[in-house]
A and B are shown apart, each in its own frame.
Chain A
Amino acid sequence: MAAPTGYIGRPLKRKEDPRLIQGIGHYVDDLRLPEMHHVVFVRSPHAHARIRSVDVSKARSAPGVVLALTGKDVKGVVGPIPCAAVIPDMKQATRPVLAVDKVRFVGEAVAMIVGTDRYAVRDAADLVEVEYDPLTAVVNPEKAIANGSPVLFEQYKDNIAYRWELEGGDLKKAFAEADKIVKERLINQRLIPVAMEPRGVLANYQPGEKQLTVWSSTQIPHLLRTQIAAMLGAPEHSVHVITPEVGGGFGSKLNVYPEEALVAYAAMQLGKPVKWIETRRENFQTTIHGRDQIDDIEVAVKKDGTILGLRVKVIADLGAYYQLLTPLIPTLTGLMMCGCYKIPAARMEIIGALTNKMSTDAYRGAGRPEATYLIERALDLVAAELQLDPAAVRRKNFPQPSEFPYATPTGVIYDSADYQTCLDIALKKSDYKKLRQEQAAARKQGRLMGIGLSTYVEICAMGPSSAMPAGGWESATVRVEPTGMVNIFTGSSPHGQGQETSFAQIGADVLGVEPDDVLVTHGDTTAVPYGIGTFGSRATAVGGTAAYKALVKVRDKLAQIAGFLMKEEPEKLVFAGKKIFVKGNTKKSMTFGEAVGAAYSAKSLPPGVEPGVEATTFFEPTNFTFPFGAHVCVVEIDPETGDVKLKKYLAVDDCGNVINPLLVDGQVHGGIVQSVGQVLFEEAVYDEQGQLITGELMDYAIPRAADMPWMETDRTVTPSPVNPLGVKGVGEAGTIGAAPALCNAVVDALSHLGVRNIDLPVKRERIWRLLQKSAPTASRRAR
């Protein structure tokens, strides 16, 4: 890789950090307004029950309480939760902001208490009397879609939200010509996102100006603003949404929640600021969950490992209601089910199941980790069945670099890649041959060592508008102030990704100024043009490109002005070192500030050029981008306890061109560890009554520092042709690549004992039981 000549490509320290490391940034809960009121919600302890009555009269007269609302109070006043996903013949599973007749999951809000003191409203919530008639809870998704199951929505006869199919290629032929058909049931368990900052909303209404301001911990300020306006019946331009610091999202804040509309409604009713901060228990119960698929796979293969076809039947547990994108998420698994392999024919059937649980929706990767998991596990199952090396089976099925853009039978066009090189680097760097030798030696000593591979491709930079419910473009405005200071206003809404820094790097390079001269503003619907937001690894590829294009517009205008003043062709001018000069002749120059000043003083502008230095772009991508990579993972399992120790992790990723390698590494690390959580620890468990028994961090373990070995990272760089920056996106790569690599390693460690699959999470208890069943010799030998 060539050394960067400008700021793009350099590991710059983040501009965000000084305020965050000193505790002087502001998350929603840190905001304080005069006369601010506080909110507590009363939530259902039942998974499925009819509501007989909700009596808030005692709470209403409790000290400090100013407002107490039930579902009946806001029915028809505050609209229900919007769902942007549309699937043909989909049933409606609409969530009211407060339950009216029925509750359908534990944690569903039935009443809202507003008062002057945080502790007092919490006391008052205990005075709310709710009478329920409990109903049988529908918890298991397979039972939920079976005949005779109790139904969540009585207007329908079953709990099947929808059936969705996708097929491409000649599947009959593939399965007829196969030497072997490899089958397995794979479980992608339900996960809880656990952003470290729970959700929070603060709203203020100024009746004179008729302006509602909502501060929310969200990834989508503009979409939220549109939806809040619709839910409250308020004109959209009277609603102002601000996202201050957002303490992590991972998709869980890519949504519209009841509390956002209700807190705004209460503020309008009271004419006072109203704040609600989610507790961690509420976060577990009522912020969206992720994954939760049962995937029955069938792979048609030739003896030499060539894959001919793939058939997958999915049961996707959607939970009780649709959140913003709930029904859509499993379909992304379908689009990406072929992974980075030339599979001529593929079919997926999805049944969406309604159950008495919190909704599933986009959680880091959103449908694609499920795809990668199933195809990467499939490749290992094929390798095991045919007694081939997993690396060899992968190599056999890669499309070659010359075949790009490559069209899959699922209708997706991969932009650019070199999967083979990426895998080769990973195998070489991890010394794969030697690892296999070590494994053979370990087995002789009764030690359980496993090596896992995954070669993944993901679909990022969401995306062309044709494929996105609310549009897939992104916006940016660039304004250079009269003093030469640069503002980039982006429609992206970062929440930890560091775009205040990476976009400043882009700005500095395009305009020839310093990153410190470039201020990136986001998450304020009044300051920033309408934007889509940050999710689906789109911020840099789509939002960054929008910023780049607006910057180029501004540079072109300044070149016109400078060219006019310098009597030079604008096309010959170069911007660098805060100067504008003629290419090859640095002597003939003017400062960046002088050109900007001329644009504002407007005394000597070229004919037809308007004063001011500002440009806006709405960038519409022509395709998604498809980052890829190869991960190698080594584990050792304690034969006595089933404990999995991660010994080594190597990730070779390709996210196209890199703006800031420090930030890219951070995204990769964090993504990997999130999937280590999925494979080893995390599982949202509802009991048969629909109680969430992993309802706190005590019961739902997310990875700690000591759970990880030192991760090695490397990169190949295959620029994306989809955008001028050549970037692909990296926010979800680690998560998508890591789960199958780790699970493959665990299964590999036990494969000589006849184990071919283990359901996630591969907890030590589960492994211990397998060891007891399948391999008494293994544990005996270890003693």
Chain B
Amino acid sequence: MAVEIQVRVNGKAYQHSVEPRLLLVHYLRDVVGLTGTHVGCETSLCGACTVVMDGKTVKSCTVLAVQASGSELTTIEGLAAQNGNGGGLHPVQEGFWEKHGLQCGYCTPGMILSSVQLLKDNPNPSEAEIRHALAGNLCRCTGYQHIVEAVQYASKKTKARKTR
């Protein structure tokens, strides 16, 4: 009882026949082969599986692959290529590196994509707004402070790039 789906992931078109119950995160990891999207809780509570679907972040552990058919998806692997930085790191990725915004790195792809979404919606967020926007992404290592600094770094950097 397979279903045909078509998606674009990080700018590349895919067509697969999948079980209707296949989760989007398993589709991305096991079928497309992009393992940067992590599974942390299977219940949409931790945010490790966050990806961008048609311009909005979703938790791919609670989206079915068939629901994503026809969508444009961005995963962590596609972020650098899409930021108009000549394939260099996205400013948010840079921020996480500069400010030590990660330790074990498991929550990081989801955390970065949620931060990218935040800065898209609100390019100049306050500390409180950053903390609020990351409420759906859990990190057990960093205590979040360096993550907040990473997002602040990216916000400044993006602004500087635009005014240049």
Instruction: Mark B122-145 against chain A: 1 for CB-CB distance below 8 A, else 0.
Output: 000001101110110111111111
Alpha-carbon separation in the docked complex, A734 to B140 (Å): 13
B residues less than 8 Å from A277 (CB atoms): 39
Query: Which A626-665 residues have C-beta < 8 A from chain B?
Result: 662-663, 665
Alpha-carbon separation in the docked complex, A410 to B149 (Å): 43
Q: Are B97 and A13 in contact (CB under 8 A)?
A: yes
B residues less than 8 Å from A574 (CB atoms): none
B residues less than 8 Å from A228 (CB atoms): none
Instruction: Mark B39-74 against chain A: 1 for CB-CB distance below 8 A, else 0.
Output: 111110110100000000000000000000000000
Alpha-carbon separation in the docked complex, A20 to B107 (Å): 10
Q: Does B77 contact A (CB under 8 A)?
A: yes
Q: Are B138 and A711 in contact (CB under 8 A)?
A: no
Query: Which A276-322 residues have C-beta < 8 A from chain B?
Result: 277, 279-280
Distance in angstroms from A126 CB to nearest chain B CB is 14
Instruction: Mark B11-40 against chain A: 1 for CB-CB distance below 8 A, else 0.
Output: 000000001011000100110011111111
Alpha-carbon separation in the docked complex, A706 to B126 (Å): 12
Q: Does B106 contact A (CB under 8 A)?
A: yes
Q: Are A196 and B107 in contact (CB under 8 A)?
A: yes
Known A29-B39, A697-B45; judge A17-B140 contact (CB<8 A): no
B residues less than 8 Å from A665 (CB atoms): 100, 146
Which of under 10, 10 to 19, 20 to 34, or 35 or more describes the interface residues of B?
35 or more
Q: Are A197 and B100 in contact (CB under 8 A)?
A: no
Alpha-carbon separation in the docked complex, A697 to B30 (Å): 25
Interchain CB contact (< 8 A) of A23 among B37, B39, B132, B145: B37
Q: Are A245 and B105 in contact (CB under 8 A)?
A: yes
Interchain CB contact (< 8 A) of A496 among B80, B97, B105: B105
Q: Are A669 and B105 in contact (CB under 8 A)?
A: no
Which interface residue of A21, A245, A277, A670 has the most chain B CB atoms within 10 A? Answer: A21
Alpha-carbon separation in the docked complex, A345 to B48 (Å): 49
Q: Does A393 contact B (CB under 8 A)?
A: no
Alpha-carbon separation in the docked complex, A674 to B144 (Å): 11
Q: Are B104 and A247 in contact (CB under 8 A)?
A: yes
Q: Are A248 and B97 in contact (CB under 8 A)?
A: no
Interchain CB contact (< 8 A) of B128 among A14, A25, A706: A706
Distance in angstroms from A385 CB to nearest chain B CB is 34
A residues less than 8 Å from B35 (CB atoms): 23, 26, 29-30
Q: Which residue of A lies closest to B35 (CB)?
A: A30
Interchain CB contact (< 8 A) of B131 among A26, A194, A708: A708
Q: Does B75 contact A (CB under 8 A)?
A: yes
A residues less than 8 Å from B93 (CB atoms): 21-22
B residues less than 8 Å from A18 (CB atoms): 97
Q: Is the interface of B mostly helix, strand, loop or mixed?
A: loop
A residues less than 8 Å from B132 (CB atoms): 705-706
Distance in angstroms from A608 CB to nearest chain B CB is 46
Q: Are A13 and B36 in contact (CB under 8 A)?
A: no
Q: Are B145 and A710 in contact (CB under 8 A)?
A: yes
Interchain CB contact (< 8 A) of A670 among B19, B42, B46, B143: B143
Q: Are B100 and A280 in contact (CB under 8 A)?
A: no
Q: Does A564 contact B (CB under 8 A)?
A: no
Known A119-B21, A665-B146, A704-B134; judge A279-B42 contact (CB<8 A): yes
Q: Are B42 and A196 in contact (CB under 8 A)?
A: no
Distance in angstroms from B133 CB to nearest chain A CB is 8
Query: Which B91-135 residues have C-beta < 8 A from chain A?
Result: 93, 96-98, 100, 102-109, 112, 127-128, 130-132, 134-135
Alpha-carbon separation in the docked complex, A52 to B39 (Å): 36
Q: Are A666 and B141 in contact (CB under 8 A)?
A: yes
Q: Are A196 and B142 in contact (CB under 8 A)?
A: no
Q: Does A198 contact B (CB under 8 A)?
A: yes
Q: Does B147 contact A (CB under 8 A)?
A: yes
Q: Are B46 and A196 in contact (CB under 8 A)?
A: yes
Distance in angstroms from B81 CB to nearest chain A CB is 10
Q: Are B89 and A21 in contact (CB under 8 A)?
A: yes
Alpha-carbon separation in the docked complex, A21 to B41 (Å): 20
Known A250-B140, A672-B143, A705-B130; judge A496-B34 contact (CB<8 A): no
A residues less than 8 Å from B141 (CB atoms): 196, 248, 496, 666, 670
Q: Which residue of A lies closest to B133 (CB)?
A: A705
Q: Does A399 contact B (CB under 8 A)?
A: no
Q: Are A24 and B36 in contact (CB under 8 A)?
A: yes
Alpha-carbon separation in the docked complex, A505 to B104 (Å): 19
Q: Which residue of A lies closest to B46 (CB)?
A: A697
B residues less than 8 Å from A245 (CB atoms): 104-106
A residues less than 8 Å from B19 (CB atoms): 119
Q: Which residue of A lies closest to B105 (CB)?
A: A20
Q: Does A562 contact B (CB under 8 A)?
A: no
Q: Are A670 and B142 in contact (CB under 8 A)?
A: yes
Q: Are B36 and A22 in contact (CB under 8 A)?
A: yes
Interchain CB contact (< 8 A) of A708 among B34, B38, B112, B145: B145
A residues less than 8 Å from B79 (CB atoms): 22
A residues less than 8 Å from B103 (CB atoms): 248, 496-498, 666, 670
A residues less than 8 Å from B26 (CB atoms): 118
B residues less than 8 Å from A704 (CB atoms): 131, 134-135, 138, 144
Distance in angstroms from A487 CB to nearest chain B CB is 22
Q: Does B9 contact A (CB under 8 A)?
A: no
Alpha-carbon separation in the docked complex, A704 to B130 (Å): 11
The 10 nearest A-B residue pairs measured at CB: A23-B36, A247-B106, A496-B104, A20-B105, A669-B143, A23-B76, A496-B103, A673-B143, A30-B35, A697-B45
B interface residues, Cβ below 8 angstroms from A: 19, 21-22, 26, 29-30, 33-43, 45-46, 48, 75-77, 79-80, 89, 93, 96-98, 100, 102-109, 112, 127-128, 130-132, 134-135, 137-148
24 contacts between A and B (CB under 8 A): A21-B96, A22-B80, A26-B35, A118-B26, A196-B104, A197-B104, A197-B106, A245-B105, A247-B104, A279-B42, A495-B104, A496-B103, A496-B105, A496-B141, A497-B103, A665-B100, A669-B144, A672-B143, A696-B45, A704-B131, A705-B137, A705-B147, A708-B144, A710-B127
A interface residues, Cβ below 8 angstroms from B: 11, 13-14, 16-18, 20-27, 29-30, 32, 118-119, 194-198, 245-248, 250, 277, 279-280, 495-498, 662-663, 665-666, 668-674, 696-698, 702-706, 708, 710-711, 734
